[in-house]
Structure 1
Amino acid sequence: SYLLLGNLANFFLDELIFAQQPDEVSFDETFLKSFRQSPFEYTSCRDIATDEDFRDFMRKARTQFENIKRVITEDFPRRGINLHQCTLEPSFFSERYGFQGRLDLLHINKKAYEIVELKSGKLPYPAYDTGKIALNHEVQTGVYRLMTESVFDVPSRRVEAAILYSSGSIPGTNLRFAAGFQQLEKEIINVRNLIIANEHAIINGNNQTVAQLFQALYDTTGTAQKSATFYTQRIEQFKSVLQQCTPMELSYFYRYIRFVSQELYLQKTGDVEYESPAGVASLWNSDFTERAEALDVLYGLSIESIDDSGNDMKIVFRRNHAGNDVVNFREGEICIVYPRQDEQDTVLNRQILKGALAAISREFVEVRFRNKQRNRTFFNENPLWAIEHDALDTSYNSMYKSLFDFLNAEKQQRDLLLGLRAPQAPAIPENKLPYPESIIRKAMAAEDYFLIIGPPGTGKTSIFARRLIEEFYAKENGNMLVLAYTNRAVDELCEAINAAFGCKDENSCNYIRVGSELSCAEAYQDRLLQNISEKASNRESLRTTIRKTRIVVSTLASING
């Protein structure tokens, strides 16, 4: 529930910053809006399953809301922070320090760049010290300071960073500004370099290299502070899991750690042997003209309209450059958007907004952003814009977690995945069923798994996925989780389900789509969980709807959170 409360506190901040009259925003309306956007989290969280626990959660949430509201309406004006000059969740790349990050809030005026980072957890110990900032939070402000200084090329004295502790109820003590220390900055850079060194060791080493790094991690528990019990317990738990593994399981685990690390490295830096721009680092390691020739940039865009009437913000850009008519962008892809008036403007010296490509035509491009922006100055002062590809690390983090889950699985499951135990399937009578029913029958009989492999256009989705969904649904004794890697593939699966059950409207389709409107085709948005939740009168009715719905469709990234 603490994670849910943290996300809710950030939602409160966004809503209050965007509101025309923050002092008139009510907790009840804002909380209900949050519930409708994240229904599954509120309905499935075990910590708030009972009415009593949920009421306690609501009490804590109300306290957080009132504290954040007080800071915005009283402390911000006192500090000279103008809400019209604040940007929510701006992103930056810092080539100088090798950082990229997204701030909670940035306020820019002629005198200073002020960073505000929201923290919803407990106040730093001791709580009576109203100026205390936790060390990890101080480090975070240090990273953001360095990043902001390098992007805007300003001296450190013009950058201020503060932590907003939203759990504190004493007026005037929530917003705590952190001083900059050169020694802390040196330690931050040193830790960053050690991380890079370890990544290079994993990528360029062998299984023994990974084992040695884990052993070095185990050894840190001997020098950890006595108060760091959470850290030492987690390391010991991890160590005990690896100790019960067979040599083959450890070899598999170490080898895939190296493989995932290599893939993540290539996503960031690209393949140096590949001639065209690739990897996130190509945003600054390659020339803009080179990326444009590779069709990886939309540029010369002007803002046609901004719509923030819904849950998110939509900006329609007009495509003005005749030489930029053919590009390698698809609807649903994530992207970065930044001002580009001339060749001097790059992703390294401009503020970046991250969104998803909602629509693209010869004349217009529509991008949808999760955060609304009250600060129109940023848009009004920049007539021309560029859009480039973005990439996320979250899927790779899920891969690391999945490898550890593999080690925690039952022995027979591990043997199956390692190929030490053959997948089980009863013998099927040879009654010469026509294609594709012969394959469908074998797939339905499989006890462990069944692989259907084929190139594009062979009917994996339109024929096999559709027929298997029909067959499993007819059994009436189980639920189905239907996954794909991309949102476009999930759209195709939704189309297959509609075809399988003759869905013509929202009342005739019995499936739930996990994801957001940013990446879901309009035809299937009515089946999104957050849209279904709007029709529920309370949490229990939503739980009932979820329990009765036997098909859930999602991308792998969305279902992993």
Structure 2
Amino acid sequence: MNYELSQTAAEFYADILDVLSKRTKDADRYVRLNRLFLHLLEEHTAHLPVHLVGPFAKTDYLLKHHSASRKLSRMVNDLRVRLIRLKNGELTPEEQERMLPDDVQALSLFVKLLYGIPVPDSLSALFPAKRQRHSGNMLMGECIRMIVESWDDNYLTGRLETDGVEEVRVCYTQGNELYPFDWSYLTPLLKLGMQLHLIRPRADEEGILYPELIILEPDYLVDISQIARCMDSYSDSPLVYLLHMIEPPAQSEAIMLGNLAGQLLDETLHAEEHSYAASAREFFQQNALSLLATPPSAQFHANAQVQLQHIRKAICHDLPTQVGSFHTDKVMVEPSFFSSMLGLQGRMDMLQLDMRVLVEQKAGSGAFVPGDADPSTPKAQRTHYVQLLLYMALLRYNYRKQYEENNRELHAFLLYSKYPQSLLGLGFAPELLFHAFRLRNQLVWHQFRLAEGGFNVLETLTPDQLNRNGVQNRLWQEFQRPKIEQLLAPIRQANPTEKAYYYRMLTFIAREHQLSKLGNQQKENSGFSSIWIDSLDDKLSAGNIYHQLRLVSPAEGTEGRVDQVVLQFHGKAVNDMSNFRPGDIVILYSYEKESIPDACNTMVFRCSIVSITPEEITLSLRKSQVDAYVFLRHHDRYWAIEHDFFESSYTALYRGMHAFLSAPLGRRQLLMAARHPEVGESLSLKGDYGTFNELSLRVRQARDLFLIIGPPGSGKTSYGMLNTLKEELLHPETNVLLLAYTNRAVDEICSKLHGQIPFLRIGNALACQPQYREHLFDNQVKACADLSQLQDLILQTRVYVGTITAMSSAQALFRYKQFSLAIIDEASQILEPHIIGLLSATHEGQPAIQRFVMIGDHKQLPAVVQQTEQESAVENPLLHQIGLRNCRFSLFERLLHLYGNDPSVTYMLTRQGRMHPQIMDLPNQLFYNGKLEVVPLPHQVAELPTEGGTDDELTNLLLTRRVLFLPSKTPKHSPSDKVNQPEADIIASLVERIYKIEKERFNAQDTVGIIVPYRNQIATVRNTIARLGIPELMDITIDTVERYQGSQRRYIIYGFTIQKHYQLRFLTNNTFTEDGKLIDRKLNVAMTRAQEHLIMIGNPLILKSNDLFKIIINSLPPTPPKRRGE
């Protein structure tokens, strides 16, 4: 595949020279060198079909691919290792000054190797006459990363991250004293270029390494619960977990009892004197839908009260007796961890703060014991023991320093709360732990295989193949075997098109899942692994971290449980650089003030953001903590916040695809284009919707589906959705589901219903605007005394509202409710796997959603996809026949491709009430074939004067022109390509003049919006505006175009920011061709946010390299060459 590089060697050489220039501060030289090194790696690996995680893997690949000499390999790897030390805060200023010439030479020669273009004399003249001597020492440590180059039956050969040049051998089959078990399982899992972690390796006299553990692809964190799910009585295999991935979510009284027992343990730890009735009431409110789907038996509460007695005895009596000293105010409840060392993640039920006492609760039965055993004392189930062992290994390896300070004292317990003697203390079991890590490595290999199309293993999988242990007992014959056969039966029964669709979409989901963990090569600082791979500078630049936070609340003297945490920001303008919003899920952790924040070096708290102000941030803990001491003990430390990632978001997608195979035949035929959508031409309207009667009638007559294309400002929610809803509710016995992709769109829907149409909203309170929280299902449940009243509430409410994600997790609702219609807003942003589960859901054997209307605009920003277009492309001709050519397209787009010319199921709104005609003209001609027209509203017919009448040229332009392009110059010196101070100056001068023009009409939320492509530029613009000293301007929204979709302002200022040609790729990365025309979705959204004025700012010499930008710039009258503020 040919790939056009977006930055030339000459540009890299110029940037390297700039690092050495006097303009660059000494403290910034290595930071900029690091950015250049990483950008060079990205530039030359982004197009590769092989996925490379982290700088080590990318450097190793490029040096080998370009046949670098040993000397150059050493130089480049020395540079890479020093940059790692820079990231970790270990590179002293003195060493930076001493090694800078060597590292500039190394980077320059690396550029020469990759491009084949000589280093210019002006740069090579600065190379050192003699390079610093390389020490050659390699220290064995707690964990060393390795890239595999070859292997045989006994040894692995590869290079270590700490060196990168010298080959080392690792013995993996014999001679390991700590784990003298069968390591040969690794052989079929290994592949060239695979990354490994060698845990606590020791070297013999010949330099051969003997690690205690080997971790395959350690950046792919596996949840400990997933490893346990690979284990069952009939087999220990990743295939067992594969079945868990696709099976419907389990619903049983045992699961509900386990959840309640977990709550009772929390209350006991919190020392809260709840009556059982109060506890049961709280449980009902938090688990209402699940309880409705699985009504508890008469014994449920009696069993729960017995477990409560056992829990109190275990925590208040047995645990202190066994460990010598235990206090509930000195524990963390459900602490989470991310171990990049061991490739593990998870959460423990309870951990003492000094890490000496660990408790994992199990509400079910222990292992089967003979009839003469003590029935009051459990025996550990093997899967439960594995979980506990992996937690113990984490404390032993990841937190080695604390483990040694504790004199290796670790009390680990399984709390089987079903039993009177519930506390079961367990020690290390090396062979079982080795087996657990074997399963972890095999599971990772299997997940990588699934992302490459390995789901077809399901095609021939049988219960007998899974039954590797050869069990033939009653459990297998009457429960496990039939359950597996029932799960796999829909695959056997599917027709070829359905199977092809199922396997292709599962592969697409698995690939997205993998990239969301490891990052994609098209986007810097992506993937959950960026938490430990990226430097602090990288994270700050991407807006992916808040650091140097100080604890405000809880404060000294706080008593009782802690539900929220308030932290104070360290510096100004931090919010503009951040990529955080209220409602986001995040992790919180503390770190020493002298160190670099590292989430893998401590336990973390999982939270949701409640609010963000310029001074502080408020978080809601996902799990309340027993005592404020959990936080206050770190009063002398800083705190950091980073983005969280939940595996469960992908679990729902796998299950949704499997649900498709079990959907009613008619629905499957509709989705597979095996039948045309039905239309009832005899149906008529009951309501009158004026000029929208034609649309409303067509929607009413559509018996399966209808597509509404809603260009910007066309009233898709106010008219397309609301009129459809009103008409449906005029017919008795109908129920309507209103769905959208984002919570912001759901809030807009709620604004149309609030006070007019009764509704329930499914979702989280933090993701809902305060004025609509009274409609939240969780809040309405509080008024229900029992399940009967809850059932009445559900049956009597006709309209339900929520995001696709929220509704997908509330499918228990479909047991009691069938919806005659679902109206899906933002449909062009919803990928097929995200909606297919809901459309496949059933109610008493029929579709839970009888018909659906999709509203969207495929010419605006689509859903975010991690894969490249080539990776997500569809090659199967069977799928081409149903309109599926790329998995990155929404179901809305696929159906539009099939039925876009069929007026019985498709309608385009063409009258828009947002843009003035002069603003509308460009996007209308470029993207909508001239079909858009104005309503018109008063602001759309207003005319501007021909003369400004002031002495200020820029003010006159604002007064007399609707659309402006203001040319900017490339900064002479900038700390980053993503910072453009000259453009920020122009933007600030524009905002100041708009404020003076509008005077009392100025409103920061409605008057002006500023769009720029980078977070760095957001902060730069904000700081520049702040220097004007006008308080009213500080609340102006400055954001990326992605965050502006769905918004509008009277004035929109779009600062392109870019100062180098390679940045055009990012600016124009959302384009497609329709009817021979190039559609730039990002540009379309940016331009169509404006109601009365659109001002664009950029470097015309660079922008005109793009045909669309050239058309726009050339179509506008030139502006005066000099303006104040430029």
**TM-score normalized by the length of structure 1:** 0.88
State the match for 2:435 in structure 1: 187
Structure 1 residues 459 and 185: CA distance shift in structure 2, 3 A:
farther
- Give the Cα separation in 2 of the matches to 1:336 and 1:149: 23
State the match for 2:409 in structure 1: 158
State the match for 2:719 in structure 1: 463
Counterparts of 1:305-316 in structure 2, within 5 Å, are 305-306=553-554, 313-316=563-566
- Preserved CA contact (<8 Å) 1:116 1:161: yes
State the match for 1:506 in structure 2: none
Deviations 1:137-179 (A, max 9, x none): 01111221222333322559433321111111x2xx2011222
Deviations 1:57-88 (A, max 9, x none): 11112112222122222123223221011111
Counterparts of 1:509-524 in structure 2, within 5 Å, are 510-524=758-772
User: Structure 2 unaligned runs (5+)?
Assistant: 1-252, 810-1126
State the match for 1:114 in structure 2: 357
Counterparts of 1:95-494 in structure 2, within 5 Å, are 95-109=340-354, 112-126=355-369, 128=374, 130=377, 132-154=379-401, 155=403, 157-168=408-419, 170=420, 173-205=421-453, 209-212=454-457, 215=460, 218=463, 219-221=465-467, 223-227=469-473, 229=476, 230-274=479-523, 276-306=524-554, 313-322=563-572, 324-326=574-576, 327-342=578-593, 343-383=595-635, 384-427=638-681, 436-454=692-710, 457-494=713-750
- Preserved CA contact (<8 Å) 1:284 1:348: yes
State the match for 2:331 in structure 1: 86
Deviation of the 1:349 alpha carbon: 0.5
Matched, 1:9 2:261: yes
Q: Which residue identity is paired with 2:548?
A: G
Structure 1 residues 202 and 437: CA distance shift in structure 2, 3 A:
same
My pick for the range that moved more, 488-497 or 123-132, is: 123-132
Structure 1 residues 323 and 409: CA distance shift in structure 2, 3 A:
closer
Deviation of the 1:419 alpha carbon: 1.3
Structure 1 residues 121 and 486: CA distance shift in structure 2, 3 A:
farther
SS of the residue aligned with 1:291?
helix
Deviations 1:501-529 (A, max 9, x none): x35xxxxx622222333433222222222
- Give the Cα separation in 1 of the matches to 2:560 and 2:462: 47
SS of the residue aligned with 1:452?
strand
Aligned residues: 535
- Give the Cα separation in 2 of the matches to 1:85 and 1:376: 10
Structure 1 residues 162 and 217: CA distance shift in structure 2, 3 A:
farther
SS of the residue aligned with 2:467?
helix
Q: Which residue identity is paired with 2:589?
A: Y
Structure 1 residues 81 and 358: CA distance shift in structure 2, 3 A:
same
Structure 1 residues 438 and 149: CA distance shift in structure 2, 3 A:
farther
- Give the Cα separation in 1 of the matches to 2:481 and 2:422: 31
Q: Which residue identity is paired with 1:202?
A: L
Q: Answer 1 or 2: which has greater helix percent.
A: 1
Which of 261, 277, 283 is 1:34 aligned to? 283
- Give the Cα separation in 2 of the matches to 1:292 and 1:404: 40
SS of the residue aligned with 2:583?
coil
Deviation of the 1:451 alpha carbon: 2.5
Structure 1 residues 328 and 344: CA distance shift in structure 2, 3 A:
closer
- Give the Cα separation in 2 of the matches to 1:161 and 1:197: 30
Deviations 1:457-507 (A, max 9, x none): 543334323332222222231222223333333322222221xxx35xxxx
- Give the Cα separation in 2 of the matches to 1:149 and 1:57: 39
Deviation of the 1:232 alpha carbon: 2.8
My pick for the range that moved more, 118-127 or 242-251, is: 118-127
- Give the Cα separation in 2 of the matches to 1:85 and 1:380: 11
For the pair shown, the structure with the greater C-alpha radius of gyration is 2
Structure 1 residues 183 and 400: CA distance shift in structure 2, 3 A:
same
SS of the residue aligned with 2:624?
coil
Q: Which residue identity is paired with 1:313?
A: D
Deviations 1:187-242 (A, max 9, x none): 1111111111112222224xxx4323653565223644224524433322233222
Structure 1 residues 430 and 519: CA distance shift in structure 2, 3 A:
closer
Q: Which residue identity is paired with 1:358?
A: V
Deviations 1:87-137 (A, max 9, x none): 11111001122111011111133xx53221111112332273625100110
Structure 1 residues 411 and 71: CA distance shift in structure 2, 3 A:
same
Q: Which residue identity is paired with 1:122?
A: S
- Give the Cα separation in 1 of the matches to 2:780 and 2:705: 32
Deviation of the 1:430 alpha carbon: 12
Deviations 1:336-376 (A, max 9, x none): 11113343440100111111111111112111113221232
State the match for 2:788 in structure 1: 540
**CA root-mean-square deviation:** 2.7
SS of the residue aligned with 1:331?
coil
Structure 1 residues 513 and 323: CA distance shift in structure 2, 3 A:
closer
- Give the Cα separation in 2 of the matches to 1:310 and 1:82: 14
- Give the Cα separation in 2 of the matches to 1:66 and 1:387: 38
- Preserved CA contact (<8 Å) 2:689 2:696: no
Identity of counterpart residues, as a percentage?
A: 28
Structure 1 residues 451 and 348: CA distance shift in structure 2, 3 A:
same
Structure 1 residues 160 and 487: CA distance shift in structure 2, 3 A:
farther
- Give the Cα separation in 2 of the matches to 1:366 and 1:347: 19
Deviation of the 1:309 alpha carbon: 9.6
- Give the Cα separation in 2 of the matches to 1:83 and 1:376: 12
Structure 1 residues 266 and 428: CA distance shift in structure 2, 3 A:
farther
- Preserved CA contact (<8 Å) 1:368 1:518: no
- Give the Cα separation in 2 of the matches to 1:404 and 1:105: 35
- Give the Cα separation in 2 of the matches to 1:233 and 1:16: 40
Deviation of the 1:267 alpha carbon: 0.9
SS of the residue aligned with 1:100?
strand
- Give the Cα separation in 2 of the matches to 1:30 and 1:269: 41
- Preserved CA contact (<8 Å) 1:145 1:160: no
Q: Which residue identity is paired with 2:447?
A: E
- Give the Cα separation in 2 of the matches to 1:179 and 1:122: 20
Structure 1 residues 368 and 99: CA distance shift in structure 2, 3 A:
same
